[in-house]
Amino acid sequence: MGPVNAAAKTPAARPSASAVWAEAFVPEAEGAAAARAAAERMGVVPVSQGAASVLTFLTSVLQARAVAEVGTGTGVSGLALLRGMAPEGILTSIDTEPEHQAAAREAFNAAGYPTRRARLIAGAALQVLPKLSDGAYDLVLVDGDPLEYVEYVEQGLRLLRPGGLLVLNHALADGRVADERNEDDEVVIIREALTAVSDSDELAPVLLPVGDGLLVARRA
């Protein structure tokens, strides 16, 4: 769940009726509405409803027992991940804002998840991620500072087990990534991260036009 970007943005094209319908096709996890309301109050941007349903689907298919998340926000994405994970699975989520994590904890508790199911770490992701174990995670979700996406890809590849999934949110950046004329720092870095994934011999990616874009890549 990334921070609100104050930089100027190219207006995104209005989504089609089919895209709007698809986004709302799968009902949200319990507690998601309250977590979204908290996100709006705190000025953070949660994953879309459609993106949340994809996260639940992926963790369910993997029967994920260990998931790492960059960008806790107020818990919208965490609820989606936990919803699909194995009953004993543990979510490790990193965010620089303890206030956001307190809201996420409240959302997880309200949804009935025991405290042990979500390990919330307050700190800078690039300082925390190197301390996590190599090859120990089924899925790594990146939803943090776009200017650090290239480094997150490097860390995610290290953290994933063979067959695990790397997921990058905001992969289309409100349509700006596809605009070749846009050379904003954030857009350039996201493009570099996407290229790093597509060029890697260890990752097999697909780019989904869900929400603000989800890049999903499987580790060989």
CATH number, domain containing residue 141: 3.40.50.150
pLDDT over 80 at 6, yes or no: no
Task: Report if residue 4 sits inside a domain.
Answer: no
Task: Report if residue 132 sits inside a domain.
Answer: yes
pLDDT tens track for 165-201: 999 999 999 999 999 999 999 999 999 999 999 999 9
Percent of the chain clearing pLDDT 70 (strictly above): 94
Quickly state the pLDDT bin for 30 (edges 50, 70, 90). Answer: confident
Q: Are 110 and 34 in contact (CB under 8 A)?
A: yes
Lowest mean pLDDT among 3-12, 51-60, 83-92: 3-12
Task: Report if residue 75 sits inside a domain.
Answer: yes
Residues 50, 21: Cα–Cα separation, whole Å: 10
Coil vs helix vs strand at 120: strand
Mean pLDDT calculated for residue range 66-84:
98
Task: Report if residue 54 sits inside a domain.
Answer: yes
Residues 143, 2: Cα–Cα separation, whole Å: 5
Which carries the bigger pLDDT value, residue 23 or residue 14? 23
Task: Report if residue 23 sits inside a domain.
Answer: no
Provide the pLDDT for residue 10. Answer: 44
Provide the pLDDT for residue 13. Answer: 62
Task: Report if residue 39 sits inside a domain.
Answer: no
pLDDT over 60 at 142, yes or no: yes
Residues 153, 219: Cα–Cα separation, whole Å: 11
Mean pLDDT calculated for residue range 21-38:
95
Q: Are 142 and 116 in contact (CB under 8 A)?
A: no
Task: Report if residue 40 sits inside a domain.
Answer: no
Provide the pLDDT for residue 84. Answer: 98
Provide the pLDDT for residue 12. Answer: 53
Q: Are 186 and 148 in contact (CB under 8 A)?
A: no
Domain hosting 209: range is 45-219
Sign of CA dihedral 109, 111, 116, 121: negative
Provide the pLDDT for residue 5. Answer: 43
Task: Report if residue 33 sits inside a domain.
Answer: no
User: What is the count of structural domains for the chain?
Assistant: 1
Mean pLDDT calculated for residue range 120-134:
98
Indicate the helix (H) or strand (E) that contains 189. Answer: helix 185-199
Quickly state the pLDDT bin for 14 (edges 50, 70, 90). Answer: confident
pLDDT over 50 at 67, yes or no: yes
